[in-house]
């Protein structure tokens, strides 16, 4: 399968990632249980009448996709592919609340129609009047990776040349309450969170939307070359190094060829051991982490892809992301490794374009 290019990258996150000089304005957050995305002024992009009917994830995705297409200089993508773990959960909660409050009678269908996971991809297509391939992946923490893999296959097979690929997830009050009860989210007594050497379970939960234009050809805006992706649902901690080593071998690389490794440390002691094992392979690489900037959520890897794109393009590594002090003169290859609570392990290899 041929490599493809990431020709634009846009992100709405807990950081102010829509502005310029992103690396200079990164602020870690480890003192609250839930971090919210910094939202743009939606009325500058979406008609006021439509804003009222949109859930947060649809609004974030509409703006992020607008920026991604604008940067790539494309008005009509050949396909729209979106990955999401929770979908439009705000509207899902509203619909279920109406079911309970109205005793299952006299229900309006609006919230139900807008609660489906493919609402985001559909709304973007409607706004663009795009009738091309439109698909949504719902694979928890590997939703974006499956979306990128689909785009890579579409381009390799000659089905498309420029594809809008995105990931998005939002927070909802009831879901956050349930996550707290389930101890998915850290207890207040365990804050501030230690992301790298945590002895407590649970994470700080975040949200966000990341969109990219994946193209067949390199352009003057190109951020990176997307070389390969590997996804496994479950592996044991003692299998992590073999999982990564096999991936590198298939790509004709050795561990010393990887200039930077971005790991998904979340501060959850129960599952961060996978990353500790992975680090042992890369003694000569820059080791980075990012969830202290974005929070943990189903598609948090979108934030790491966005940051990796900027690292490759700008040839700079933010100090706030560094685990070790190792820095190479040139960053050519970046490996991204992520999972959620020990499931859905993904590897993404990006190269300097």
pLDDT tens, residue by residue, 124-145: 999 999 999 999 999 999 999 9
Instruction: Work out the mean pLDDT of the chain and round it to a whole number.
Output: 94
DSSP E strands in the chain: the ranges are 4-12, 79-83, 133-137, 162-169, 208-215, 224-232, 260-263, 286-289, 333-340, 343-352
C-alpha separations of 241 from 109, 244, 248, 351 in Å: 49, 5, 11, 21
Q: Tell me which of 53 and 33 has the higher pLDDT.
A: 33
Q: Among 35-49, 100-114, 123-137, 189-203, where is mean pLDDT lowest? A: 100-114
Residue 169 pLDDT class (50, 70, 90 cuts): very high
pLDDT at 117: 86
Instruction: Please give the DSSP secondary-structure letter assigned to residue 76.
Output: S
- For residue 272, give both structure tokens: 């961060």
Q: Tell me which of 314 and 107 has the higher pLDDT.
A: 314
β-pairing verdict for 79-83 and 162-169: parallel
pLDDT higher than 90, residue 3: no
Residue 177 pLDDT class (50, 70, 90 cuts): very high
Question: Nearest to residue 259, comparing CAs of 285, 278, 280?
Answer: 285
The residue with tokens 């609402």 is 119
- For residue 142, give both structure tokens: 């590997």
- For residue 11, give both structure tokens: 């992100």
- For residue 61, give both structure tokens: 């995705």
pLDDT at 5: 98
pLDDT higher than 90, residue 74: yes
pLDDT at 131: 96
- For residue 146, give both structure tokens: 């499956």
CB 130 within 8 A of CB 328: no
Distance CA 91, CA 147 (A): 23
Distance CA 263, CA 269 (A): 14
C-alpha separations of 75 from 66, 72, 83, 98, 193 in Å: 9, 9, 21, 38, 43
pLDDT higher than 80, residue 95: no
Q: Is 300 helix (H, G, I), strand (E, B) or coil?
A: coil
Distance CA 339, CA 298 (A): 9
Q: Is 18 helix (H, G, I), strand (E, B) or coil?
A: coil
Distance CA 280, CA 241 (A): 8
pLDDT at 263: 98
Map out the domains of the chain with their CATH numbers: 4-215 (3.40.47.10), 224-352 (3.40.47.10)
Residue 101 pLDDT class (50, 70, 90 cuts): confident
pLDDT at 109: 76
pLDDT at 249: 98
Is there a cis peptide before residue 234, judged by omega within 30 degrees of 0?
A: no
CB 299 within 8 A of CB 168: yes
pLDDT higher than 90, residue 104: no
Q: Whole-model pTM?
A: 0.95
Instruction: Please give the DSSP secondary-structure letter assigned to residue 95.
Output: H
pLDDT higher than 80, residue 305: yes
């Amino acid at each position: 399968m041929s490599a493809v290019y990431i020709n634009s990258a846009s992100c709405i996150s807990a950081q102010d990632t829509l502005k310029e000089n992103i690396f200079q304005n990164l602020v870690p957050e480890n003192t609250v249980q839930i971090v919210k995305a910094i939202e743009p002024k939606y009325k500058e992009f979406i008609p006021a009448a439509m804003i009222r009917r949109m859930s947060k994830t649809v609004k974030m995705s509409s703006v992020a996709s607008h920026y991604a297409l604008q940067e790539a200089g494309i008005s009509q993508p050949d396909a729209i592919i979106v990955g999401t773990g929770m979908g439009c959960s705000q509207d899902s909660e509203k619909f279920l609340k109406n079911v309970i409050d109205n005793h299952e009678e006299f229900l309006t269908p609006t919230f139900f129609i807008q609660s489906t996971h493919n609402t985001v991809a559909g709304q973007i297509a409607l706004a663009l009047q795009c009738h091309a391939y439109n698909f949504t992946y719902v694979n928890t923490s590997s939703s974006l990776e499956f979306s990128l893999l689909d785009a890579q296959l579409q381009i390799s097979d000659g089905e498309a040349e420029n594809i809008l690929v995105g990931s998005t997830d939002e927070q909802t009050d009831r879901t956050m309450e349930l996550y707290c009860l389930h101890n998915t989210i850290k207890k207040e007594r365990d804050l501030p969170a230690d992301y790298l050497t945590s002895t407590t379970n649970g994470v700080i939960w975040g949200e966000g939307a990341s969109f990219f234009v994946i193209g067949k050809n390199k352009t003057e805006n190109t951020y990176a070359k997307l070389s390969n992706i590997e996804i496994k649902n479950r592996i044991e901690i003692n299998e992590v190094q073999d999982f990564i080593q096999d991936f590198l071998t298939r790509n004709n690389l050795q561990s010393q060829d990887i200039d930077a490794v971005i790991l998904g440390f979340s501060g959850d002691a129960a599952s961060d051991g996978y990353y500790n094992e992975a680090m042992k392979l890369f003694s000569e690489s820059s080791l980075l982490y990012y969830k202290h900037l974005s929070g943990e959520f189903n598609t948090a890897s979108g934030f790491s892809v966005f940051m990796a794109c900027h690292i490759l393009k700008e040839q700079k590594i933010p100090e706030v992301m560094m685990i070790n002090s190792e820095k190479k003169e040139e960053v050519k290859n970046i490996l991204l490794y992520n999972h959620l609570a020990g499931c859905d392990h993904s590897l993404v290899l990006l190269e300097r374009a």
